[in-house]
A and B are shown apart, each in its own frame.
Chain A
Amino acid sequence: MEAVAFAWLSAGIGLGITVFGVGTGIGRLAAAALEASSRQPENAGDIRTTMIIGAALIEGVALLAGVVCILLAVKQ
């Protein structure tokens, strides 16, 4: 295989791994937040806010990986 083929392959596989990790991460985060807010519904607002910040930070890492994958995919 030539270098460009490897780049495309790695972009695809890399994005797959990233999405797997981030999906797991945000899923666990949402599960924990849901559990917490069902135990203490009066704190649901605070928990949601904290969850969104956490989700944004996790997502940020994913997007960084996504940008790297895009850079690999547009390799000439």
Chain B
Amino acid sequence: MNKQFLLGVYDDEEPVLRAVKELRMKGLRVYDVYSPFAIHGMDDALGLKRTRLTVAAFIYGVIGMTLGLSMMIFMNVIDWPINIGGKPAWMGPDFVPVTFEITVLITALGMVGTFLYINRLGPGVPGDLIDPRVTNDRFIIAVEVKADETRSKITEILQSHGSLEIRERSK
């Protein structure tokens, strides 16, 4: 796959946001935006769908709660009930703290695992870094060039918002 990209480099977040909005309004597909910090409102400007990670977190929570509770019921009620002063083996409130802890643990680990997986992040992953400056103080808009005639149009829009430089990159 050989895709052509035009990269607009900026030194502030505001023009980036405006440029992205204009590009999308003119029907051009913005491939991605790279920035040193999260830009407020960028997900709307790029038209990203709201992430479903919250749903995943809830599912992990339910799994964690079920696992924790059933583990304790199996161990202390079914498999080997301990007679403590004749009290019943099933003592609901006693199981609350550990259920809670296991729920939190499974939710946190599951969600972070999912986050790393969907973003292709992991220890030692090479990563597709577009420019080393984007993690420091530069902002880059990457626009895919489908046809050569759009090239000048994209360049024009990127420049009109005060880009410092415009580069090409193929992937």
A, B from the same assembly: no
Which residues of A approach B to under 8 Å, CB–CB?
none
Binding site for A on B (CB under 8 A): none
